[in-house]
Chain A
């Protein structure tokens, strides 16, 4: 792989130990994936923040990098395993909290914005069409590639950090136009009325296409919230990093001939929806996976106005969107109902299995997937039904 003079210097350790480590990672990845050179990235989203997933080893690695490493481009952070300020009221054990705050301290020292959200594109990390970026967080990767038309591979924690500390990533995979063409067609015959229908479709298609690049036909309209939850579902049941929707997403003109075709009808919609549902009465309701948009906060405020929740109810969103919700007057209404904002975190990365909940109700197919893996039961329902579930008598 060709390296520029400056990159050679980084590789040789002339710009410090952390930069050298980062450059070693990028060069090895370039070798493995036959990249001819490195390219500059305009932003980075780092995954691997929850102490639940990092453990002591991850923390030690971050501390080592933070000795002399610094972010060279705009870098934002995935959600943590708890709210950084209200972890006590969330029921988080102090041992966990201490370690989690240490992780955050290392990221802060590295010059990374403590944004703690899986929707950086709603909170100030907003690439535009054609930008090369290096993002972790699978749902944001699918959203950035597909909806924005920015270019990123699915980065893991260390490779995203390496991109941040050098401002570069190897040129391969989805950074190249020829790898952004669809590999499978999906004919959508089901009526997609609500975000949960998009999530259900994403869950079905992700399982079927694994790490393929699906191109949907027959979707007439899709709001930001639909695309957000579709991205998350595709990337959790499968390894989808990009998709196209004919007539809607910016690169949907990229075509390939003779593709295998899947059909998504009302039958698949109903079957997948029921597959995402366990039995049991929810003792925990959580919305905002991926983190809520301002529109979702407005809807929640309308639904919760004048009502009282009778179960633990988490509204997961970024501090930035919460701030916008404060200004618009939504946050006050939501909190008055007894629902809690879960900032910096969510039900997927928080140690929910240790908080004593048994059955979680959520409007996210991605959350169903991961919360189930953590050993809890799940109920998959619409935002409206989540509110009904949370407010009805015991």
Chain B
């Protein structure tokens, strides 16, 4: 399937989808050194975002979350791409400063966990 969204930070990436149906908080929600999701009650708890195409509706929580994405990237534990239904400031700024390809305005329900997703600019292929 091919989906076209809106590029927040343009780039190419491919990886297996890690999908959260609820909003994600990076500050306090993801271990910045390992990429493990540590937010209590999250359906992704215990899984790692490292190297995955991370799919979730939108970000929430503290604006410090942008710096958590940056630290993940510096530690080689960042997702290879981010796909949102609607990107907000925390994730957008985090993706840009960490240079993680980021696309939004995508119907995220269409992406099944585990599928291989290829991203090029605003286009998703899976």
Contact = CB atoms under 8 A, between A and B. Distances in A.
Contact of B89 (A24, A60, A156): A156
Chain B residues touching A, majority SS: helix
A56 B67 CA distance: 9
A128 interface: no
Contacts of B18: none
Interface of A: 21, 24-25, 28-29, 31-32, 48, 53-58, 60-61, 156-159
A48 B64 contact: yes
A159 B64 CA distance: 12
A60 B90 CA distance: 18
B56 interface: no
Given A28-B9, A159-B89, A57 B71 contact: yes
Nearest to A54: B67
Interface stretch (B35-43, B45-53, B91-99): B91-99
Contacts of A156: 63, 66, 89-90, 93
Given A61-B67, A156-B89, A158-B66, 11 more contacts: A21-B96, A24-B96, A28-B9, A28-B93, A28-B96, A32-B87, A32-B88, A48-B67, A60-B71, A158-B63, A158-B97
A54 B70 CA distance: 11
Nearest to A158: B93
Nearest to A61: B70
A159 B87 CA distance: 15
Nearest to B92: A28
B106 to A, nearest CB: 14
A159 B88 CA distance: 12
Contacts of B67: 48, 54-55, 57-58, 61, 157-158
Interface of B: 6, 8-9, 32, 63-64, 66-68, 70-71, 74, 86-90, 92-93, 96-97, 104
Contacts of A58: 64, 67, 70
A156 to B, nearest CB: 3
A24 B64 CA distance: 18
A147 to B, nearest CB: 23
A56 B68 CA distance: 10
Contacts of B74: 57, 60
Contacts of A24: 9, 96
A55 B68 CA distance: 9
Given A156-B66, A158-B97, A32 B90 contact: no
A21 B97 CA distance: 7
B33 to A, nearest CB: 10
Contacts of A53: 64
Contact of A25 (B6, B68, B97): B97
B63 A157 contact: yes
A31 B6 contact: yes
Contact of A29 (B9, B32, B70, B92): B92
A24 B92 CA distance: 10
B70 to A, nearest CB: 5
A28 B91 CA distance: 11
Given A55-B71, A60-B70, A32 B64 contact: no
